[in-house]
Amino acid sequence: MKKLDKNEKIVFYPGSFDPFTIGHYDVIKRASKIFDKVIVGVLFNINKKYFIDKEDRTNLIKKTVKPLKNVEVVSFNGLLVDYLQKRDIKIVLRGLRAVSDFEYEFQMALMNRGLNSEIETFFMVTSACFSYISSTIIKEILIHNGDISNLVPGPVFNYLSKNRERLLKDRFSNGKKKI
């Protein structure tokens, strides 16, 4: 775990990123111009089944954000506030696409502040052209073999195209749905 510079304005952008979309990338690019450092936190919750495993989700984001020199990508599990405390980070970033996101995001922001009063959540309104994109919809399109080339960054598109069969087989194994 890298030691952080106390003088830098650091923001933590947590998510499942299952998969990482161009909407997520847009939020990171814009935040990287505002904050000194953006740390993308890929959640690994042991009780949840993901479409893409933690290592691949993390590596795909690393590949995508490589041109952005002030962006770091990590994976984390457990409570977000615990991870933030360990690294002495106080600001969380979340993207807002539509009113429908608001209730959940509001609840999470209040819960995180309730758990640690020092945590503030910053919301970045998504670019209008990406407002309809979600990881869930992308998985649905992929399942039906639709075109996702304009919805995910290049490295994610290549990975999903190459691994589609295996991911779908895993998703439907044990009769369990993993969307």
Tell me the catalytic residues: 24, 48, 97, 135
Q: Taking contact as CB under 6 A, which single stretch among the options 13-21, 30-38, 66-74, 120-128 is the one that binds ligand PNS?
A: 13-21
Are the CB atoms for 123 and 95 separated by under 8 Å? yes
What ranges make up the beta strands (E) of 97-179? Answer: 120-125
Sheet with 71-76, strands from edge to edge, namely 71-76, 37-43, 10-15, 91-96, 120-125
In angstroms, the CA 94 to CA 142 distance is: 25
- CB nearer to ligand PNS: pick between 106 and 172: 106
Per-residue binder mask for ligand PNS (CB under 6 A), 118-157, x = binder: ----------------------------------------
Cα first-last separation, the chain? 31
Contact between 111 and ligand PNS (CB under 6 A)? yes
Which residue from 10, 15, 151, 160 is in contact with ligand PNS, where contact means CB under 6 A? Answer: 15
Contacting residues toward ligand PNS, per CB under 6 A: 14-16, 43, 79-80, 108, 111-112
